Structure 1
Amino acid sequence: MDLREDLAVLAEEARSLASAEALAAWGEGEPLLASPLLPWASALLAVLWVASLVAWAAWGFASAALLVSAANVCFSLYNRRRVRSAVSAAESATGDLPLLAGVLARLERERFAAPRLVELREALQSQGWPPSRWIAGLNRLMEYLDSRRNLIVQSLEPFVFWTLQAACAVEGWRKRTGPAVRRWLAAVGEFEALSSLAGYAYEHPADVLPEFVEASPCFEAEGLAHPLLSDREAVRNDLRLVDDLRVLIISGPNMAGKSTLVRAVGVNAVLAQCGAPVRARRLRMSPLAVGASICILDSLQGGISRFYAEIRRLKQITDLTRGPLAVLFLLDEFLQGTNSQDRRVGAEAMVRSLVERGAIGLVTTHDLALARIVDDLAPRAANAHFEDRLEDGKLLFDYRLRPGVVETSNALSLMRSIGLDV
């Protein structure tokens, strides 16, 4: 509990996953200031410049001071582009170093008994120092590099090479320790994920652990609900997808619960395979790769219509069937961006292809013509539906999944309920 709370507090300061990936990629990259002679040459020239100033002040050797100053300026200009590139790359990748050092230090202090946690803890071992000290050391180097913005340092920069020296130190850290950063970040990421799952399990003691089977693809749930709905709000449903019944075509009116059920199946399948408890009274399933087409959006910037974005997603789901796991497909109101004839033909072909590839799944629709897919795929496919009812001018939903095709529609009633003239 203490570890989870400490990680949660530290994670509140995190900027994004992109910064972690940038740090890992930077650590694996080739140093931009690779020459081992560069820091020594710059240090020697800086010392000579100081000595020339002393000689000028003590004995009047002005020509020597001017000559060394000119040489240092030329050296600085010659290396300026490489130094700027190295500094820019380091600064763009090292924004969250204090946070990372704190998380690593907290994990290094913890002692674990679970085998996987012990393995992750061992992944944080490093040469000489623990990872938290290496990251803290890099942070100090970056602070030293950042001091180049001081006005006094800027005025002396062409002669003492402050930025070059700091950049060489950072690049030396990168060459020596950088390749280990991705391993540390991966271990921290898995710790954080496991901590989140443990927190979820602790906060939902009534949820159950799933039962896994190695048989043909199956997803059998009793009392399934969406994890984000409270017990007071959630209406639980039973669901069965097995070898002899691979597809449910779910019809129903707007707001009746079709999309929520599809999401509940997907989220619980993912939670189950993460080792977390699920929002159900019982869940029995085989290992499954989840492929979903839900809330697909167009992209003005990318020049992609909603229909094209959706068929690209369907291609990704189809490609999943070539993998080692059977696929659980979840298609919510798919292929809406075309005419009804093409939609029916395309939907039937898509569902048939997935079933023949060994997949199981759900398809939701308002178009009752799609419910006829079952006629050609039976008994491997079946219809189910949600209902609504009108009482005292109000639409009411019970969110119960029933067998068969829906017989009512509420689109016009919903339009009238908000004052549209239809």
Structure 2
Amino acid sequence: MLTGKRILLIIGGGIAAYKSLDLIRRLRRAGAAVTPVLTRAGAEFVTPLSVSALAGEKVYADLWDLTDEAEMGHIQLSRVADLIVVAPATADLMAKMAQGRADDLASTLLLATDTPVLIAPAMNVRMWQHPATQRNLATLRGDGVRTVGPEVGDMACGEYGPGRMTEPADIVTAIEAQSEGGPLAGRHVLVTSGPTHEPIDPVRYIANRSSGAQGTAIARAALHAGARVSFVTGPASVPPPEGVDVIRVETARQMREAVLAALPADVGIFAAAVADWRMASPSDRKMKKTGGSLPVLEFAENPDILAEVSRHAQRPALVVGFAAETHDVADHARAKRERKGCDWILANDVSDGTGIMGGTENAVTLITADGSEDWPRAGKETVAARLIDRIAAALSGGTSE
């Protein structure tokens, strides 16, 4: 719950602004007080009267309101809140934040504050995917701004893809997670999850049986521990947790780009089952049977994301890898830890009959520089919680249990 918390809500100009009305209602129901700031463009989609009626407070819109500015109102507004939420965060607002512009009340508040900021991006799919927006997003994350969404879905413009604003209920969940604190409060945790799909032709691909369940459980546990979580996921069958920054990818090379863009981070947990190889030259047409002869598939090696991050200039303080093995599990995992340069490896046996790959349980061996430790078989949520507890203890300098 958010009892006693004061939220400064900045409403940007986009069709998703209508969701801000439901967000205000849900925040107040959770016990928060909401001070609304409506941009000029936002007022084209929702009225000051409707926002004020739901918030039960005055709507702030004009930087040059003389009554408020006589008491340095924009400075006061930027400091009295426990959290500043921008929903919807348009491409324009994100650009202003990243560039440090202050040409209206909303951007001035965001530049003048030392209060934590959470943004819920919402824009057309092409705008979201544009390199400029992605550069701005990377800058904001590097500045400590937390994001929730956007989601993949239908757009008001008729297109489909990432850019849809996260639903108000999920935004409230993210706000509650940030407000609760925890052993990883103020930390940025990067988690990879799921398989990668490496195309053979437009309809076939190389993949594995990873469901993404363990990575999802780890991201959720880190979020509940108070961390800001960047969740880079391949096409997993298990949906990502609510309240984390979701970056969806398909291939290993896309995952590498997303991981490097998400740095810096305090912790990197690489639970994704990344394909070791890809097609050297995928066909741009569906490959057809030709008189009984078999096609020859030429492979190329995929980037080693774990090894690259372990040696990166922005290396996280703690890098954790996974080793899915079918035999000599501990020995292969020890060799992998040395070879990759990571701090910890969680090894598990995914051979036939274990039910671990794609299942609901896991049995891991934690490999560190100090030795190995077998964990009992348990649900993946339990394994995730234990891992996050160990990580929090390691970062605080305490013991591991």
Q: Which has the larger radius of gyration?
A: 1
**Structure ranking higher in strand proportion:** 2
TM-score, length of structure 1 as denominator length: 0.32
TM-score, length of structure 2 as denominator length: 0.34
Q: Larger relative contact order (C-alpha < 8 A, sep ≥ 6)?
A: 1
**Structure ranking higher in helix proportion:** 1
